[in-house]
Amino acid sequence: MKHLRKIMSLVLSLAMVLAMSITVFATEGATTSTPGKFTITAPAGEHQYEIYQIFTGDLSNGTLSNIKWGANGTGTSGAVVDQAILDALTALNTTETTDTAKLAKISTYVNLASPLMTIGGKEGETVNPASYEAVAGYYLIKDKDATVSGNDSYTKYLVKVVGDLTIAPKSAVPSFEKKIKDTNDTTGETTGWQDSADYDIGDVIPFKLEGTVAANYDQYTTYTFKFHDKEEAGLTYQGVTDVYAMNDTTKVTIPAGKYTVNHNDEQTQQDGCTFEVVFSNLKEISGIQAGTKIVVEYTSRLNENAVLGNQGNVNKAKLEFSNNPNEEQTGSNKPSTGETPWDNVIVFTYMVEVNKVDQDKNALSGANFKLEKKVHGENNEENWELVKEITALNTTKFEFKGLDDGDYKLTEIKTPDGYNTIDPITFAVTADHDIVWTNKSRTDVLTELKGDKASGNITLTANKEQGKLSTDVVNKSGSLLPETGGIGTTIFYIVGVVLVLGAGVLLVTKKRMNTDK
């Protein structure tokens, strides 16, 4: 009786060990199509599952006894399992602390050369049946090799079959997001991490890549983590500024020797990327665990190729990651990897167009302008920084391209001849854009563009598609002041002529009178 109790204790302990990593739902006592057998069902989907029978046993009230080797066990099928093996499996409950270690030990008792059955897969695209009728026992169920791709991962389950069950796929994959910060130079305010921003051409922009380590991280002996980043022509990569891991609120800097930054090399060109940050094996970095966030911060400059308006300048990224804990993870074999979908952020920039006209709205050349931007100082002082001067003498249209939102001042630094110089004009460029970008088209992220707080009797007309604010700036001709006393002068001229003529007549008359005498 004591021996029997010992065996039953070992069996129960074995059941506890083999029950770990189960992601199936069992319905014990359910009616099956064949007496003494239970149905293992795979739901229609991407996964194809291979079934391996390790042990069988006699079922009584949900408990297996008289454990024997199954069709895929490393022992002789149908033979009683040696007590030493059962003792070794039972000992895993105390000697191993992780499911990965336990799974590795238990897997040594499975012959993976040929599965008992393969089930599942896309409905109508595979010859695999949807289910398998199994006798009571312990089974290993895993994804078929070379069948998982994209944002998905391979799985391996050890299950005790004592009733009908349906496999519930649990693809443990990392999450990923790409973000950007937005700064208003006039107010000095910088946002948190978001999906959109606007900047001046020439500005250096902060970006962030963040990947969260998968829930089944402990099942791997090596783990690849690779960020791919691709920028459009309006952005120029400047370099990585910080690489760190986050466990809850604890930040730990990752040493440079634990990752590689690839830029403008053969691999990035082959991948069609601007740059890549590669962690060839996260397992070499202490403190990394399931749920740890791996963060890369870097900067890029908005350059002269930047697109104006609602088309924006897109920067996208994705995460490549190890996705098969079942494969051999040592040696030179390239590990199987999956990829998250691309995640996008967008940068907007705008322009101001000034049309120079006279008071009759006719185009007027001969003016020069400078545009300045109000910039927030460290001590809250008001600073005006030069954006651009335009000194061409024969133009009537002045374009200031690549502007961020903020306050601006337009000053006429040369006035057309014969016209009055205008006072400096101040105005604000304001824009609204969705800070969370999900399913919208890129041209719909920018929701509003307008010119505000304009002085100098101007009206800024917005064109969101072109990212343009346009206005007429009027110069009036020099004034004709009234001429006081002009008519009196004319009279003096006439009187003078009359006096001169009269004097001449008197002189001639006097000479004749003298002659007659």
pLDDT digits (tens, 9 = 90+) for 126-147: 778 889 999 999 999 888 887 8
Answer yes or no: are the C-beta atoms of 427 and 451 closer than 8 Å: yes
The predicted structure's pLDDT at residue 62: 80
The predicted structure's pLDDT at residue 111: 92
Answer yes or no: are the C-beta atoms of 371 and 388 closer than 8 Å: yes
Three-state secondary structure call for residue 248: coil
pLDDT at residue 24 is higher than 50: no
The predicted structure's pLDDT at residue 513: 54
Averaged pLDDT of the chain: 85
The predicted structure's pLDDT at residue 100: 67
Per-residue pLDDT averaged across 311-317, rounded?
98
Per-residue pLDDT averaged across 401-415, rounded?
96
H or E segment and range at residue 414 = strand 406-414
Answer yes or no: are the C-beta atoms of 50 and 144 closer than 8 Å: yes
* Crossing angle of the two packed helices 83-95 and 2-18, in degrees rounded to 10: 60
Strand 196-198, strand 343-348: pairing: parallel
User: What is the rounded CA–CA span in Å between residue 159 and residue 151?
Assistant: 25
Between 60 and 309, residue with greater pLDDT = 309
Three-state secondary structure call for residue 335: coil
The predicted structure's pLDDT at residue 23: 42
H or E segment and range at residue 271 = helix 266-271
User: What is the rounded CA–CA span in Å between residue 168 and residue 137?
Assistant: 19
Answer yes or no: are the C-beta atoms of 167 and 42 closer than 8 Å: yes
The predicted structure's pLDDT at residue 20: 44
The predicted structure's pLDDT at residue 201: 98
User: What is the rounded CA–CA span in Å between residue 416 and residue 418?
Assistant: 6
H or E segment and range at residue 87 = helix 83-95
The predicted structure's pLDDT at residue 485: 54
DSSP annotation of 270: H
Burial of 454 (0-12, 13-18, 19+ CB in 10 A): middle
pLDDT at residue 235 is higher than 80: yes
Answer yes or no: are the C-beta atoms of 360 and 337 closer than 8 Å: no
Answer yes or no: are the C-beta atoms of 473 and 361 closer than 8 Å: no
pLDDT in tens, 49-81: 999 999 999 998 888 889 999 999 999 999 999
pLDDT in tens, 477-487: 876 455 555 55
* Count of residues in the chain: 517
The predicted structure's pLDDT at residue 172: 78
The predicted structure's pLDDT at residue 102: 77
pLDDT at residue 245 is higher than 70: yes
The predicted structure's pLDDT at residue 333: 62
Nearest to 428 by CA among 95, 185, 83: 185
Per-residue pLDDT averaged across 113-117, rounded?
92
Distance from first CA to last CA of the chain, Å, rounded? Answer: 188
DSSP annotation of 329: -
Strands (DSSP E) found in 196-309: 196-198, 204-212, 225-231, 235-247, 250-253, 260-263, 275-279, 293-302
Which residues does residue 186 pair with via DSSP β-bridges, in sequence order?
none
Per-residue pLDDT averaged across 370-389, rounded?
91
User: What is the rounded CA–CA span in Å between residue 177 and residue 294?
Assistant: 11
Residue with the two structure tokens 């952020």: 345
Per-residue pLDDT averaged across 222-251, rounded?
96
The predicted structure's pLDDT at residue 26: 38
Answer yes or no: are the C-beta atoms of 443 and 310 closer than 8 Å: yes
Percent with pLDDT over 70 in the chain = 83
Between 94 and 38, residue with greater pLDDT = 38
Per-residue pLDDT averaged across 379-407, rounded?
92
Answer yes or no: are the C-beta atoms of 377 and 326 closer than 8 Å: no
Per-residue pLDDT averaged across 416-421, rounded?
94
pLDDT in tens, 422-457: 999 999 999 999 999 998 999 999 999 999 988 888
Q: Is the pTM of this model over 0.85?
A: no
Between 329 and 93, residue with greater pLDDT = 93
Dihedral sign of CA atoms 391, 392, 395, 399 in order? negative
Per-residue pLDDT averaged across 452-465, rounded?
91
Which residues have C-beta within 8 Å of that of residue 421, sequence separation ≥ 6?
Answer: 412, 415, 475
Burial of 175 (0-12, 13-18, 19+ CB in 10 A): middle
pLDDT at residue 277 is higher than 80: yes
User: What is the rounded CA–CA span in Å between residue 125 and residue 154?
Assistant: 19
